[in-house]
Chain A
Amino acid sequence: MAPADSLPTDLDILVIGTGAGGAPLLARLASAGLKVAALDAGVRHPPEGIATDEVAQLGLFWTDERLSAGNDPVSFGRNNSGRGVGGSTLHYTAYTPRAQPDDLKLRTEFGVGEDWPLEFSELEPYYDELEYFLGVSGPAEYPWGPPRKRAYRHPPLPLNGAARLMQKACAEIGMKTSPAANAALSRPQEQEGYGTRHTCTNRGFCQAGCSIGAKASMDVTFLALAEAHGARIVDGAQVTALTMKNGRVTGAEFMRGGEVEHLSAQTVILAAGAVETPRLLLMNGLANSSGQVGRNFMAHVGIQVWGQVEDDLRPYKGIPGGLISEDTHRVPGLIGGYLLQSLGVMPVTYATQYARGTLKWGPELVQHLSGYNHVAGINVLGECLPYEHNRLELSDELDGRGLPKPRVHFSFGENEQKMNAHAEALMRELWDRVGARDVWALPRAAHTLGTARMGSNPATSVVDPSGRTHDVPGLWICDNSIFPSSLSVNPALTQMALSLRTADALLGDLKGQAPRS
């Protein structure tokens, strides 16, 4: 038998990154009998090794330094970027709302932003498939969006303190709420390649990794399936260059344990996320005839409002985002809209956000933090328009590997500012109604999107509607960088849908048939 760390040869497909973009297609292509491998800069984090402690779990995050510029500098690391086999899904909160059809048609509706070069009807079957495969828990009737063809596989998870407070407050002002769709199990489920995934134990630490296997991170779902079908996953392997011959991509060079190694493949799929993907392309001078690589960096409007109540809430218990409202999906005066989510929170995350957000210190700080058990939060996730000037570029500063650190410029535009203000006022009103005290708001931007946008026109986009780069034969991209607009929902489920869709297009190419549409 070959030693465990020997590298595969004669690969059909090499995937770089194993998150929401890389994992589903890896499984699909492996299941179709192709010889596939994936490289991930991070290592494996099996559930049984996960601690219920945020500091101990720092290894789940991308902690190589990024430089944040602009009027609203984005905080990276724990806020939005994973590193590990499973990518950011290792620490996502597993909120899995679907996009609504009008999310994909922003320009048509408002004359600004971008339309997606595909229809909702093309995503819908993938949503159906994914929600079943991942084991999404959700309500029998979801109140927003088109009627569903397939019910959620499992009933909703229980509502924790913050969710019940939000439910009560929204009811008082006539806002509809619903238990959210969460990709975490309310009943056990068998998962091919992994075994039994257990029911969520309500430990509330999703953002520090799930120790139960209840949460549908990629490692316990698609990656397990991929490996069961022969895919090779090489961890601790950070790609530093793509290799080319006669204008075609031939593979990737990567560093593993201080050594530089190489893997060749017929086709390379870049799925390193919306910061590392454009960084690699810019370092290699690839796929950028449009000049769009690194442009249109987007991060959702993600302001949070926090307060403390008399009740002993224990915000570490229960799935953090148990309740949702999409009643603000469209708001007069705003381009696009936002959704509302209740928030549980882990102690260190809460404490550091409070320190940064209020800049309180001394006895006042400690006094506030001592009330952690009584904290309830609520946040929004709203449309962020693409702007040319919000961009990622390479800086002159080098990282530990001698590669240029990325610098990300980000400033909210007028619409994001208006949305932020609208959302803050609404959430403050809700928390007033439940009698919360010490209410404070944390304006923030969430997720990293849009630096290698998808489109039909090679002059204004980096990849085509299936994920092929316009410029480089054999090179595809599938991660959050290809989002043409941000959508007013959390991105992971849609990302996974795009991933399966890209896999089907690639299989179609290989069969010499038209891609499934």
Chain B
Amino acid sequence: MTVEERSAVLSLLNSAHVTEPTRRALLERLDVRYEREFFGEAEFERLRALALRLVPHNPAELNLTGTVDHRLHSGVGDGWRYADALPDGEAYRELLAALPDGFETLDGDAQDTAIHGVQSAHPHAFEDLLAELTEAFMAHPLTQYRFGYAGFADAPEWPRVGPNELEPREVAYGPR
């Protein structure tokens, strides 16, 4: 995250366009780092390598792998799972174990080939993990800034809702 990006995010988050509960949630997420608690060290490294291919990101900026680990450790779920699938944590472990030895050090193309293999062998776990990583990615204030998403700055209102009817704060937010 560049200094400019950070200051743009903070200045909108700290403005009167963002309500207090929204600000609290997003400020916390901006810098959150989770210690590994659920996965073993080797599993965690592998998950990180997999996550980088599935949802390309800079792990120094976005702690997607830690977010997944933290969610599993806390035991919070999303309300359902496929009846023929293992509980999320176990299913993810199985998915990781199905990747070839040394997956972490393969080059990108070889990693992608391996990923296609586990995608068809473990479709449910693959889908769940992809969705979970995507959620953590899209919910992050930095991603939102880079995509020019300003929907959280909804106070006091959006007076106009038609196509191309943008407020100054929407126009200003995001990379030039």
Contacts and interface: CB of A to CB of B under 8 A. Distances in A.
A73 to B, nearest CB: 6
Contacts of B82: 67-69, 73
B81 interface: yes
A17 interface: no
Contact of A314 (B54, B56, B81, B166): B166
B21 interface: yes
Contact of A352 (B134, B154, B161): B134
Contacts of B149: 316, 347, 372-373
B131 A356 contact: yes
A256 interface: no
Interface in B49-81: 53-56, 75-81
B147 A77 contact: no
Interface string A197-233: 0000111110000010000000000000000000000
A52 B22 contact: yes
A160 B151 contact: no
A56 interface: yes
A258 to B, nearest CB: 16
A64 interface: yes
A280 B17 CA distance: 45
B46 to A, nearest CB: 16
A363 interface: yes
Contacts of B24: 51
A73 B83 contact: yes
A75 B19 CA distance: 31
A261 interface: no
A317 B84 CA distance: 39
Contacts of B119: 359
Contact of B170 (A49, A52, A54, A314): A314
Contacts of A55: 25, 29, 135, 139
Interface string B69-105: 0000001111111111001000000000000000000
A64 B79 contact: yes
A50 B82 CA distance: 30
B147 A373 contact: yes
Contact of A76 (B29, B56, B80, B115): B80
A273 to B, nearest CB: 12
Nearest to A70: B83
A203 B80 contact: no
Given A55-B25, A356-B131, A362-B56, A347 B151 contact: yes
A53 B77 contact: no
Contacts of B19: 51-52, 211
B138 A65 contact: no
B169 to A, nearest CB: 12
Nearest to A309: B163
B77 A63 contact: yes
B152 interface: yes
A7 to B, nearest CB: 29
Interface string A323-350: 0000000000000000000000011101
Interface centre among A159, A165, A211, A407 (most CB of B within 10 A): A211
Interface residues of B, number: 54
B157 A203 contact: yes
A81 interface: yes
Given A55-B25, A75-B80, A351 B134 contact: yes
A313 B163 contact: yes
Given A361-B54, A372-B149, A317 B161 contact: yes
A435 to B, nearest CB: 13
B26 interface: yes
B6 interface: no
Contacts of A105: none
A73 B127 CA distance: 14
A66 interface: yes
Contacts of B25: 51, 53, 55-56
Nearest to A202: B158
A171 interface: no
A69 B151 contact: no
A77 B139 contact: no
A68 B21 contact: no
Contact of A65 (B79, B134, B146, B158): B79
Contact of A351 (B53, B137, B159): B137
B77 A201 contact: no
Contact of B158 (A77, A309, A317, A361): A317
Given A203-B151, A312-B163, 11 more contacts: A49-B21, A66-B80, A67-B82, A69-B84, A75-B80, A316-B149, A316-B154, A346-B151, A347-B149, A348-B138, A359-B127
List 3 A-B pairs, minimum CB-CB distance, nearest first.
Answer: A77-B79, A316-B151, A318-B161
30 contacts: A51-B22, A53-B26, A55-B25, A55-B135, A58-B76, A63-B77, A66-B80, A73-B83, A75-B80, A76-B79, A76-B80, A77-B78, A78-B79, A164-B163, A201-B156, A205-B154, A211-B21, A314-B151, A317-B161, A352-B134, A352-B135, A354-B134, A359-B126, A362-B54, A365-B134, A366-B56, A369-B134, A369-B147, A372-B147, A373-B147
